[in-house]
């Protein structure tokens, strides 16, 4: 192609500037992208402001109570197949964030304590409830002593032949995640069991394989949770915790 012919071709292309249809086509994708950016920015700004005004503590996010929570946990003690009476109400109600009113339910209410931080987050455990209750009430990985008692029940000791479950006994804890959930044996130190809203715990000193019933206070727990009773769970045979 001669130089003159090439020049004329370039000139015609420059003069045309593309077709009329192309020049008339609106930049739809560009406008759509701008809308997405604006909407996304507004959403992020709203979320950020909400998180700043209503922060969620790490403990609350992990399913642990903060000082504004008020949770309920059914609790019972089974010694050699005999359910013990519900613990009497705490004598230090105004100072305890883990307490009971004598109805077989642990009231997890850190905000009611003089120092809520002692009962929030990872401090909301069965062991801390036992310690706060006082009256020589104690629990370890292998033993339990009932409040105002001088007798300690230690794994390896035997339940008397006259008891409902005679034989060499072990301290175990059975936990139901809810009043309608399935109970499971929790190994290790029962004192480390975290207290969860709607949970049920039976601390039992019984021989291996003995049936561990749910707390009798289940109906009270359902009332506290505002849930209609749907009937009890069937207890299953268990082995001692490893």
Q: Is the pLDDT score of 230 beyond 50? A: no
Q: How far apart are CA 226 and CA 229, in angstroms?
A: 9
Higher per-residue confidence, 22 vs 78 = 78
Handedness of CA 27, 29, 33, 36 (dihedral sign): positive
Per-residue exposure over 54-74, b if at least 16 CB sit within 10 Å of its own CB, e if not:
eeeeebeeeebbbbebebbbb
In which band, very low, low, confident or very high, does the pLDDT at 238 lie, cut at 50, 70 and 90?
A: very low
| Integer Cα distance of 194 and 126 in angstroms | 6
pLDDT tens for each residue of 196-224: 999 999 999 999 999 999 999 999 999 99
pLDDT of residue 63: 80
Is the model more confident about 97 or about 187? 97
Which H helix or E strand runs over 32? helix 28-53
Predicted confidence band at 14 (pLDDT cuts at 50, 70, 90)?
low
| Domain residue spans of the chain | 3-53, 64-225
Tens digit of each residue's pLDDT (9 = 90 or more) over 44-69: 665 555 555 544 444 444 688 999 99
pLDDT computed for residue 47 by the predictor: 53
User: Is the confidence at residue 120, as pLDDT, over 90?
Assistant: yes
Band (pLDDT 50/70/90 cuts) for residue 10 is very low
DSSP state, residue 230 = -
H or E segment to which residue 82 belongs: strand 82-83
Helices (H) and strands (E) in the chain, counts: 6, 11
């Amino acid at each position: 192609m001669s130089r003159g012919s090439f020049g004329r071709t370039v000139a015609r292309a420059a003069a045309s500037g593309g077709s009329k249809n192309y020049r008339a086509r609106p930049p739809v994708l560009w406008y759509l992208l701008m809308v997405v950016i604006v909407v996304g920015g507004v959403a992020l700004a709203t979320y950020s402001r909400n998180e700043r005004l209503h922060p969620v503590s790490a403990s609350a996010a992990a399913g642990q109570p903060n000082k504004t929570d008020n949770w309920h946990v059914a609790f019972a003690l089974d010694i050699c197949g005999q359910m013990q009476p519900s613990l009497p109400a705490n004598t230090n109600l105004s100072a305890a964030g883990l307490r009971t009113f004598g109805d077989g339910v642990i009231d997890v209410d850190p905000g009611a304590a003089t120092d809520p931080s002692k009962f929030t987050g990872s401090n909301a455990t069965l062991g801390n409830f036992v310690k706060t209750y006082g009256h020589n009430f104690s629990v370890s990985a292998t033993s339990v002593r009932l409040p105002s008692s001088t007798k300690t029940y230690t794994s390896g000791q035997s339940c008397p032949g006259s008891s409902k479950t005679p034989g060499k006994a072990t301290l175990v804890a059975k936990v139901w995640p809810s009043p309608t959930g399935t109970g499971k044996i929790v190994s290790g130190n029962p004192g480390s069991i975290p207290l969860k809203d709607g949970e049920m715990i039976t601390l039992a000193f019984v021989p291996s394989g003995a049936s561990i019933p749910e707390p009798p206070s289940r109906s009270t727990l359902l009332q506290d949770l505002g849930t209609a009773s749907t009937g009890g769970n069937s207890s299953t045979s268990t082995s001692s915790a490893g």
